[in-house]
Amino acid sequence: MTESDIKKGLAGVVVDYTAVSKVNPETNSLLYRGYPVQELAANCSFEQVAYLLWHGELPTDAELAAFVDVERGQRALDDNVRAVIDLTPKTAHPMDVLRTAVSAIGANDPDADVATEESNLNKAARLYAQLPAIVAYDQRRRRGEDLVPPRDDLGYSENFLWMTFGEVPASVVVDAFTVSMILYAEHSFNASTFTARVITSTLSDLYSAVVGGVGALKGPLHGGANEAVMHTFDEIGTADKAEAWLEDALATKRKIMGFGHRVYKNGDSRVPTMKAALDTLVEHYDRPEMLELYETLEGAMGSRKNIKPNLDYPSGPAYNLMGFDTPTFTPLFVASRIVGWTAHIMEQAASNALIRPLSAYNGPDERHLTE
């Protein structure tokens, strides 16, 4: 085995086929089941996109109505899950609370180990329906606020925002939120999806695979970056300080969160759509200084390193403007990515091979215990 046989970080390695999405860095495009994500974000609800990712086709009106009914019927936070959340300290990161809540849902499911496609689809639908209540309730209890029960007269996004804030915001806010949910839903073999596929490949259950996905997404090199972007903005303060801050950060070899991508080297296909949504929020909330900081840091990073923003860069400030607390940002990513993860879990289960790569040993030569 030579040095070039080692594919550190699996960079450039094609592990398997997938029909769920296509990330194409050459054309800077992202297709969900063949549809450009920009078209879906401009024309579809999150419910339609979830259906598409799971079933491979957009729903007919009748299919969508039935699908929406199933989600609305399972929106309320389960008492067992609420009790588990209440037991976790508020000092725990919301991703740890969410990971624990998913585990509790699995432990309460008598069919947790039934891995038929139908059973997995039901579990996926339950998690997709329950995650907004978990995320919303956790943010509220940290603020000392009471739980807001779901409303089944509202769509997915409106209800999510209702349960979080106790009111449905202006349609421009709801639309920006839906766009973020659609853009975050799926991205081929990223680290968290791959984690979920590895767990599935051992014939473990869907909940275990999702818990693993949550753990992988939490890290700041992956989903945790949307939260980290907001910390960066807070640290910099105002646009006039951005260039000096960047110089210092690069001089001390810091990674600038929300920039760079393993696959896209010329910009993330989703950023223009999310940036447009951020622009509408900046205008709605009259926060031009946020945009000034955003654009100054982006420009400085471009001229200093020629590294472009990824989706977490516009999403962080967008969630801040909507009123979410910073540690809630990555849980929002989970509420969306649950759809992509579970689509991949079902794809892996349907065409399984145990995922088990090789390693090159570089420890001590063989040696023996002396008597």
Ligand X SMILES: CC(=O)SCCNC(=O)CCNC(=O)[C@H](O)C(C)(C)COP(=O)(O)OP(=O)(O)OC[C@H]1O[C@@H](n2cnc3c(N)ncnc32)[C@H](O)[C@@H]1OP(=O)(O)O
Q: Rule CB under 6 A: say whether 241 interacts with ligand OAA.
A: no
Distances (CA, A) of 124 to 41, 102, 118, 170, 244: 22, 11, 10, 30, 46
Q: Are 325 and 142 in contact (CB under 8 A)?
A: yes
Q: Are 53 and 109 in contact (CB under 8 A)?
A: no
For the packed helices 61-73 and 46-55, what is the interaxial angle rounded to 10 degrees?
100
Q: Of 163 and 198, which has the nearer Cβ to ligand OAA?
A: 198
Please choose which of ligand X, ligand OAA, none residue 49 contacts, taking the beta carbon within 5 to 8 angstroms, the exact cut-off set by kind: none
Report d(CA 214, CA 106) in Å as an integer.
Answer: 14
Structure tokens at 90: 């508020």
Count of residues that interact with ligand OAA, criterion CB under 6 A: 7
Q: Rule CB under 6 A: say whether 50 interacts with ligand X.
A: no
Q: Rule CB under 6 A: say whether 262 interacts with ligand X.
A: yes
Q: Which of 205, 261, 268, 344 is catalytic?
A: 261
Q: Rule CB under 6 A: say whether 263 interacts with ligand OAA.
A: yes
Q: Rule CB under 6 A: say whether 190 interacts with ligand OAA.
A: yes
Q: Rule CB under 6 A: say whether 187 interacts with ligand OAA.
A: yes
Q: What would the x/- binding string for ligand X be over residues 239 to 258, using CB under 6 A?
A: ----------------xxxx
Helices (H), 266-328: 271-285, 288-305, 312-322
Q: Rule CB under 6 A: say whether 215 interacts with ligand X.
A: no
Q: Are 104 and 87 in contact (CB under 8 A)?
A: no
Q: Rule CB under 6 A: say whether 311 interacts with ligand X.
A: yes
Q: Which stretch binds ligand OAA (CB under 6 A): 57-65, 66-74, 85-93, 260-268?
A: 260-268
Please choose which of ligand OAA, ligand X, none residue 259 contacts, taking the beta carbon within 5 to 8 angstroms, the exact cut-off set by kind: ligand X
Half-sphere exposure of 336 (CA within 13 A, CB side): 23
Structure letter (DSSP) for residue 5:
G
For the packed helices 156-165 and 46-55, what is the interaxial angle rounded to 10 degrees?
120
CB of 233 to ligand OAA, least distance (A): 20
First to last CA, the chain: 34
Q: Is 96 a catalytic residue?
A: no
Q: Which stretch binds ligand OAA (CB under 6 A): 125-133, 259-267, 272-280, 341-349?
A: 259-267
Report d(CA 247, CA 240) in Å as an integer.
Answer: 13
Q: Candidates 222, 275, 308, 344: give the one binding ligand X (CB under 6 A).
A: 222
Q: Is 344 a catalytic residue?
A: no
Q: Are 127 and 102 in contact (CB under 8 A)?
A: yes
Q: Which of 205, 222, 312, 344 is catalytic?
A: 312
Report d(CA 54, CA 94) in Å as an integer.
Answer: 27
Query: Which residue's C-beta sits nearest to ligand OAA?
Result: 190
User: Would strands 29-32 and 35-36 be described as parallel, antiparallel, or unpaired?
Assistant: antiparallel
CB of 275 to ligand OAA, least distance (A): 15
Active-site amino acid positions? 261, 312
Using CB under 6 A, list all residues that contact ligand X: 9, 220-223, 225, 255-262, 305, 307, 310-312
Using CB under 6 A, list all residues that contact ligand OAA: 187, 190, 261-263, 310-311
